[in-house]
Structure 1
Amino acid sequence: MKTTFFLRHLAMPFLSLSLMMSSCTRHLEDITPDSKKATNAENATDVSIMSTATIDANTVQQTIQGFGGMSVPIWIGDLTADQRTKAFSTSSGIGMSILRVMVPTSSSQFAAEKTTIDVAKSYGAKVIATAWNAPSAMMDGLYLRGSAWGDYAAHLRAYTQAVGGVYALSPWNEPNYMASGWMHASAAEIANFVAAQGDNCGAPIMCPEPFNMDQTFINTYLSNATAKSKTLFVSGHIYGKTPYNLGNIGKSVWMTEHYTNSSISGNDWPNAMNAAKEIHDCMTAGWAAYVWWYIRRFYGPIDENSSITKVGYVMAHFARYVRPGYTKIACSANPTTGVYTTAYKSGSKIVIVAINTNTAITYQPFTISGTTVNSFNRYATTSSSNLESSSFSISNNAFGINLPASSITTLVSN
């Protein structure tokens, strides 16, 4: 849960004498072609805990919209030029493809958002904006006055125009989080507002952005057919909730705010691995996007010293290599005890992200159908390394690799 307004195993060993060689070289020692899989299975002490991760490129699931984070200059200061590069660059940074920003209540603060918005757009990122509150003159306590709907839509439109446009906009942030100090509303009230004023807000609508990704709240909102027709995608936050599939709601689902622990450094490796598993879970649930809370924060992807943290490198395993427009494809989500895998494609390119939560090196076999893959570039991050790269060839669309203990690995086909 949010604490303040501002914050919120077992492997089949596959060892060799060269296991500890630099990952910058080709790892022949831990790549197993299809012809050797049977032998490896025979050597397993308990084959029941290890299964092949089966990838089917012909079974297309959700379209990925991206991975990103939030910047709120009026609360904690803007990102620096260096931090923007580290956030959005796919070559020297995390590769974020989504920037979330806050709509200020005062038009005098609109300009504070623009520089980072412009830079994010220059890297191809989508910018989404959320309003925590309407201007005080439009509110009764923590509720938007019905007579102020038109004025509020005009306020939102003025913001989007001032910053040069945004991809989507949410008029409420966690309207069901009643312990908050920001604007409340029921799902029906938000739907009525969007039905009446959604076309006047200056950007497509993302809604209803509830706390807990509350499906009852979401379904109630979507039951208003007019509001649904004016909603680009469904958004919400998973505080206190394990990612889950919302079913056939007829809209793409974006997870637009979360962090794992605001009391632990972003360089704490177990916490970073929790973030890795959480992103995996969101993708497995069929969601299209994952957005962290603050981009720059000691517990986030970039710290106050402008260094990419372990959380940031974990995010890079998805954000750099699974770009907007890629589609998630069928893949065994938990093929081996402690191993979690997802797969994606763009044309003939295949990307696999494998998370090994085990405390030992874990051998994982893979098979691929629906396309032909001859080789992969591999990137691995552990507690002591970041995106270490290597490459290897495969045959017959089948292979096996050793996943380092407590690690995240991304494979990108050539």
Structure 2
Amino acid sequence: MTKMILIALCLATSCFFLNSCSNSNDEGGDTRVTPAKVFTIDTSIKYQTITGFGGANRMWTSENLSTSEVQNIFGTADTELGLTIFRERIPPVQADWTIMLPTLKAVQAKGIKILASPWSPPANLKSNNDLVGGHLLPENYEAYKNHLNDYISFMANNGVTIYAISIQNEPDIQVSYESCDWTATQMADYIKAYGSQINAKIVAPESFKFDQSYVNALFNDTEVINNLDIVGGHIYGSGLDFISKAEQNDKEIWMTEYLLNLNTGNAGAPAWSLYGEDIIWNETLTMLETIHKAMDFNWNAYIWWYIKRYYSFIGDGTQGTESGKILKRGYAFSHFSKYVRPGYVRVQVNNEDNVDLKVTAYESNTEIVIEILNTSSLNTDKVQFKVPSMSSAMAYQSTLEKNREPIALTTNTDNVQFSFVPKKSITTVIVKK
């Protein structure tokens, strides 16, 4: 018989146990208990295997991460964030490759997967002989393959393994900074000719909005398909959806860049430090919702933009942040990065009462992790989760007032239930088998 785990959460003066949450009729004094809304975790229905959750740093003028920052970001202790993927830029000029080494070596020592993305090939290989815009000349395709392999070899010789390498960051948008334009046909031709000769997993196309037509163009040729390992893309403006061609061809799907910063990067915008914590938290919930959707669309990895920035996971010393200190957004992201580990498999969640909560669940050999996101302005009362088996359970919660704080639980062999899920919150439940 399927076990049900009962988790009772109490906030402030709210009731903790269900039997103390009854409704009374003033005239007759009768007592009624409102039935809990039920979610059932069905581990027999499995979806994608999780590769990890990560972020980027050490771009252009951004500084190397310190030893303590690397520990806080990639460690898994109680106060740490548990990221498992690190994205970095491939400088087009070889003399700059050594600049990356301190951070990459520290990240490598933590066993983290490294994704390297080029913003531009060397200028002399391009149509305009410039690092901004232009396109890679077909006669220089082999030279660019050598450039990427030289980078991989340089890092390997310095103790750093490049797990995956992108062909081009955002090939489908014209910008005024380091960049290179690629049509989908050019990208497919390049991967067909040289993808098998590059000494790391190949990520493409890294479209700025995960353009499905661009992605689909890479799946029209068997040789391109065989040479492509990971379908990667960004979600600026759009792109959160099923990537059916990738799934049909058994390719991993990675979201490799996204940021939200209340548009403070735009000219004339108010400074980040002028916004209240409630406004920042609302935007953080938007970030969490994109993670939830990415997982629900069977994506394997989610990689944020800068790890160390005033709007990100640890402060950079600007906009009122303390350099190196973990920020609320970091704790929020870590509900996924710390608890949903590489190799976990997403499993089915049946929302039996059509409750307006966003829930995903993940299974390993030893536990089931449930992520519960409530983006509404209302608490959701009496929510119950059924799971196949349980020896113990624990939960952590972030709200406007809390940063991934442990929540007291009551469990028995029959069920687990929240007295309520707070408004604008994320809660992680870890069920030990």
Specify the TM-score bucket, using the shorter chain as the normaliser.
Answer: 0.7 to 0.9
Distance 2:8 2:166 in 1: 51
1:157 Cα deviation after fit: 0.8
Is residue 223 of structure 1 aligned with residue 220 of structure 2? yes
1:189 Cα deviation after fit: 1.0
* 2:289 counterpart (265, 277, 286): 277
The TM-score, its normalising length taken from structure 2, stands at 0.82
Contact 1:376 1:413 in 2 (8 A): yes
Q: Deviations along 1:31-76, whole A, 9 cap, x unmatched?
A: 659xx9xxxxx755xx8xx842221111110000111100134332
Aligned 1:306-385 pairs, distance under 5 A: 306-332=324-350, 337-369=355-387, 371-385=388-402
**In the alignment, which residue of structure 2 is the partner of 1:64?**
50
**In the alignment, which residue of structure 2 is the partner of 1:154?**
146
Contact 1:374 1:395 in 2 (8 A): no
Q: Which runs of 5+ in 1 are unaligned?
A: 1-13, 22-26, 37-41
1:272 Cα deviation after fit: 1.1
Q: In structure 2, do the counterparts of structure 1 residues 226 and 32 end up closer, same or farther at CA, with 3 Å as the change threshold?
A: farther
Contact 1:208 1:234 in 2 (8 A): yes
Letter matched to residue 302 of structure 2? Y
Letter matched to residue 55 of structure 1? I
* 1:115 counterpart (86, 102, 105): 102
Letter matched to residue 12 of structure 2? M
Is residue 252 of structure 1 aligned with residue 257 of structure 2? no
Q: In structure 2, do the counterparts of structure 1 residues 333 and 302 end up closer, same or farther at CA, with 3 Å as the change threshold?
A: farther
1:386 Cα deviation after fit: 1.0
Letter matched to residue 233 of structure 2? G
1:307 Cα deviation after fit: 1.6
Letter matched to residue 188 of structure 1? T
Equivalent pairs counted in the alignment come to 382
* 2:64 counterpart (78, 96, 106): 78
**In the alignment, which residue of structure 2 is the partner of 1:129?**
116
Contact 2:38 2:352 in 1 (8 A): no
Is residue 87 of structure 1 aligned with residue 87 of structure 2? no
Distance 1:105 1:333 in 2: 49
Deviating more after overlay: 266-275 vs 309-318 = 266-275
1:325 Cα deviation after fit: 0.6
Letter matched to residue 415 of structure 2? A
- Report percent identity of matched pairs: 28
Q: In structure 2, do the counterparts of structure 1 residues 242 and 309 end up closer, same or farther at CA, with 3 Å as the change threshold?
A: farther
Letter matched to residue 122 of structure 2? P
Aligned 1:30-49 pairs, distance under 5 A: 30=16
Q: In structure 2, do the counterparts of structure 1 residues 384 and 19 end up closer, same or farther at CA, with 3 Å as the change threshold?
A: closer
Matched residue of 1:143: which SS?
coil
Distance 1:145 1:255 in 2: 28
Distance 1:122 1:397 in 2: 43
* 2:308 counterpart (274, 292, 296): 296
* 2:136 counterpart (133, 141, 144): 144
Distance 2:182 2:294 in 1: 26
Is residue 188 of structure 1 aligned with residue 206 of structure 2? no
Distance 2:415 2:291 in 1: 26
Contact 1:132 1:173 in 2 (8 A): yes
Distance 2:183 2:58 in 1: 26
Q: In structure 2, do the counterparts of structure 1 residues 32 and 170 end up closer, same or farther at CA, with 3 Å as the change threshold?
A: farther
The TM-score, its normalising length taken from structure 1, stands at 0.85
Matched residue of 1:392: which SS?
coil
